[in-house]
Amino acid sequence: MAPIDPHVVAPDARALREGAWPRSNPQLRKLAELARLFGPHFWLMEGAVAEVRGNVERNARKATQDLAHARRAAERAGFTVAATASRLEEVLAEWDTRSATAIAAIDASIVPHTTRPVSELFNMAVARTAPFADTGAGFRDAVIYLSLVDEMHRRGFESAILVTSDTDFRGCASPITGQQSVVMSLGSAIENFEQLASAAHRVADRTREPGERSICTCGAGDRRGEGTR
């Protein structure tokens, strides 16, 4: 498939987890840097960030419970235990701080939840419309996808890369005419922009004068205020 130069790049919850959010591993940082180079908006859906935070909260609760169970078992065996766990509120507050710092560092924007009625989501689930799975599961994915769709429509943007390895998104079709969201994994999204950069370099090399230094302007530049309306 030919690379695309989108208006928006939007990782879902799974891509954020794969990118070690909010610490942001080298892959996620590279994608954000490429987005800055080519100019598309880097959006984080509110639902995607909330899902990652919720996973942290669940893991923290389980770790606290496991520690308490192990402490009681050790005490029953006659050991003195001094192990303690941070309060859940402290863990989440620290996560929130790191997340806010990471958002600023990659120049991302938080997109709020879609305001579409519950009845529409229910009907999508009944009809098993993607991203709803054959089992009817997929409410969170649907909220994330429609949040992207609606914000793109509000801003007048036509194209996006939805970064995810979740195959449930692959059958999604935007309800907005003329709007396209291409699903790519984190690695594929990076490769997409690298192909764009290579193509831009080839064009620059063909058009430059003999002896002139090749300068790659890459994609469409900073289009953060651009829309179709």
Cβ–Cβ < 8 Å for 83, 188: no
Q: Are strands 109-111 and 180-184 parallel, antiparallel or unpaired?
A: unpaired
Tokens 């997340």 identify what position?
A: 99
Q: Indicate whether 20 pLDDT > 90.
A: yes
Q: Express each pLDDT in 197-218 by its tens digit.
A: 888 777 766 665 555 544 444 5
CA distance 126 to 84: 47
pLDDT at residue 16 greater than cutoff 90: yes
CA 5 to chain centre: 17
Top-confidence residue, 209 or 144: 144
Q: What is the mean pLDDT of residues 126-145?
A: 96
Structure tokens at 88: 């859940």
Cα 26 to Cα 29: distance, rounded to the nearest angstrom? 5
* Helical spans, DSSP H, in the chain: 13-18, 26-38, 46-76, 88-105, 118-126, 139-155, 186-207
pLDDT band at 107 (very low <50, low <70, confident <90, very high): very high
Cα torsion for 24, 25, 27, 33, to the nearest 10°?
Answer: 50
User: Residue 12 in contact with residue 141, Cβ under 8 Å?
Assistant: yes
Mean pLDDT throughout 143-166? 97
Span 28-44, mean pLDDT? Answer: 94
More confident residue, 221 or 197: 197
Q: What pLDDT band is residue 229 in, cutting at 50, 70 and 90? A: very low
| 3-class SS letters over 112-153 | CCCCCCHHHHHHHHHCCCCCCCCCCCCHHHHHHHHHHHHHHH
* 4 and 218 Cβ atoms separated by less than 8 Å: no
Please give the residue that has the higher pLDDT: either 198 or 96: 96
% of residues, the chain, pLDDT over 90: 71
What is the helix (H) or strand (E) element at residue 41, kind and residue range? strand 41-45
Task: Specify the pLDDT at position 74.
Answer: 86
Q: Cα-flanking dihedrals φ and ψ of residue 105, to 5°? A: -65, -35
- Return the amino acid letter for 44: L
pLDDT band at 42 (very low <50, low <70, confident <90, very high): very high
| Res. 99 pLDDT band, cuts 50 70 90 | very high
Nearest alpha-carbon partner for 113 in 40, 44, 177: 44
